[in-house]
């Protein structure tokens, strides 16, 4: 019942902008086992964590410009855990020699009223999917191997079908802006995963 320290001010705009550094690749279903084996060897010594998440992508159409996109994710394995809301900014157009995709990232943990609240704000769900897979860590680097599944009936995560015959592999780091050695470390780690998987910088704009 002691008063919490009043000097802990809430974090407002002006905080260190966190950037997400990202490399992506894919691997066919049949090659998954060898990839997992190599990751278990290269990554930090701990049991790889399995996950099954349901992600909903929301769009807010404004008067001008591109719609604002937010990603809301919840765990199907831990239904009482908070929702994870994520904003990803436009990729930083800079140094072509930078090895990873860099974009501003804001992560917010939120209560279970999130979908209703986003609707009230004016967001509308654009699409949803289920992702199942494993997470590995090496220091600050995170490797996520996931199978993406299409949700056949809105909101029903029991009825899903795989989107493709492969697994998506993502290598990411969350770091404050301006740390360029991060993409170097990511590149050398990605080298160790070749030829099982080729992780590269994929520009999301090219896919639109």
Partner 1 sequence: MGVTCVCQVPVAEGKSVQQTVDMLHKKLEQLGAVKQGNFWVDCETYQATGNATGQPTKLLYVMHNSETPLSSMALFEGGPGLTADANFDVLMVKLKSHFQNAKGHKVESRGTRYRYCDFLVKIGTVAMSSSARGISVEVEYCACVIPGDCWNLMKEFMQSFLGSSTPELPAVFTSKAEGLYAPVDCMDTMSQYLELFGKVRKQQVLAGSGVR
Rule CB under 8 A: which residues touch partner 1? 1-6, 8-13, 15, 60, 62-63, 65, 68, 85, 87, 89, 106-111, 113-114, 116-117, 120-122
Other beta carbons within 10 angstroms of residue 87's beta carbon come to: 14
**Which residue's structure tokens are 């699409």?**
127
Q: Name which of 86 and 138 has its Cβ closer to partner 1.
A: 86
Whole-number Å distance between alpha carbons of 82 and 72: 10
Q: Name which of 42 and 108 has its Cβ closer to partner 1.
A: 108
At closest approach, how far in Å is the CB of 103 from partner 1? Answer: 12
Other beta carbons within 10 angstroms of residue 19's beta carbon come to: 21
Buried-exposed string 100-109: b where 16+ CB fall within 10 A, e elsewhere: bbbbebeeee
* 198 φ/ψ sector (left φ>0, alpha ψ -120 to 50, else beta): beta
At closest approach, how far in Å is the CB of 105 from partner 1? Answer: 10
At closest approach, how far in Å is the CB of 120 from partner 1? Answer: 5
Q: Name which of 101 and 114 has its Cβ closer to partner 1.
A: 114
Q: Name which of 70 and 149 has its Cβ closer to partner 1.
A: 70
């Amino acid at each position: 019942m002691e008063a919490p320290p009043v000097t802990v001010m809430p974090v407002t705009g002006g905080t260190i902008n966190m950037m997400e550094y990202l490399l992506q690749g894919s691997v066919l279903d049949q090659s998954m086992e060898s990839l997992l084996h190599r990751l278990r060897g290269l990554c930090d010594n701990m049991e790889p964590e399995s996950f099954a998440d349901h992600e909903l992508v929301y769009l807010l159409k404004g008067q001008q410009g591109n719609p604002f996109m937010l990603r809301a994710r919840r765990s199907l394995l831990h239904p009482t855990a908070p929702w994870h809301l994520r904003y990803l900014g436009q990729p930083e157009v800079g140094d072509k020699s930078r090895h990873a995709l860099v974009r501003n990232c804001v992560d917010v943990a939120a209560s279970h009223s999130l979908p209703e609240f986003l609707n009230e704000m004016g967001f509308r769900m654009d699409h949803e999917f289920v992702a199942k897979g494993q997470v590995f860590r090496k220091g600050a680097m995170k490797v996520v191997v996931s199978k993406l599944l299409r949700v056949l009936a809105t909101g029903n995560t029991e009825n899903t079908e795989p989107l493709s015959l492969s697994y998506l592999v993502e290598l990411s780091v969350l770091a404050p802006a301006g740390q360029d050695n991060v993409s170097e470390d990511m590149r050398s780690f990605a080298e160790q995963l070749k030829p099982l998987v080729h992780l590269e910088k994929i520009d999301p704009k090219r896919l639109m």
